[in-house]
Amino acid sequence: MISRIPKLLPVFILLLLVASGCGPDAPPAQASKPAPVRQKVEAPAAKKAEERTPAIGKEAAPGFVYSPAGKRDPFQSLMELERTVRKSAAPETPLQKYALNQLRIIGVVWGKGEPRAMVVSPDGKSHVLKKGVKVGQNEGVVTDITREAVLVQETIYDFGGTSRAVNQKIPLPLTKKELI
């Protein structure tokens, strides 16, 4: 029986520590704060006229005055585009209904006169392009027609409302011989 005492001693000490930590003591209750006392305050308009005007020889300290001049409206959305040029509601040409990447070139005509290109729109209709024709949804204008592509200059508006001209290209699709 004496040989068991050294083995049970650490278990007994552990039980004593656990039991001493689990006491019925509750944390002390905090005293409730008294309700704030409301005092009657006079309205600023009710001040006497003498108090509102500074005495002779004393100057009133200038208070802070907010001036919104030159600052942006904090309630105006930053995501709105402010275009300086108003876009017409209806497109002027049928090709202005589609984005440039929706148009497909089926041929370029070279010869006498001005070069022309034939494109097919997503609805299956074919259209002839020459310099100056309006095309695309971003107010694009055909600037040049080469043997490989039709070059279009579009007006792009950024979030700040400023516009910039971007040159886009509608490429002529590669033939089967060119792919090999």
**Amino acid 52: pLDDT:** 56
Q: Is the dihedral of CA 170, 175, 176, 180 positive or negative?
A: negative
50 belongs to a structural domain = no
Q: What's the domain range around 123?
A: 94-172
**Amino acid 28: pLDDT:** 61
Q: Residues with Cβ < 8 Å from 121, sequence gap 6 or more?
A: 94, 95, 97, 98, 102, 103, 127
**Amino acid 61: pLDDT:** 65
Q: Residues with Cβ < 8 Å from 28, sequence gap 6 or more?
A: none
The beta-strand segments (E) located in 21-148 are 104-109, 116-120, 126-129, 134-135, 140-145
Give tens-digit pLDDT for 20-65: 776 666 566 665 666 667 777 666 555 555 555 555 656 666 788 8
C-alpha dist (Å) from residue 147 to 67, 101, 107: 60, 18, 9
106 belongs to a structural domain = yes
Total-model pTM: 0.48
What residue ranges of the chain have pLDDT lower than 70?
Answer: 1-5, 22-36, 41-61, 80-91, 176, 178-180
54 belongs to a structural domain = no
| CATH number of 167's domain | 2.30.30.830
Size of the chain in residues: 180
The rounded distance, in Å, linking the Cα atoms of 150 and 135 is 11
**Amino acid 80: pLDDT:** 60
**Amino acid 164: pLDDT:** 87
**Amino acid 119: pLDDT:** 92
152 belongs to a structural domain = yes
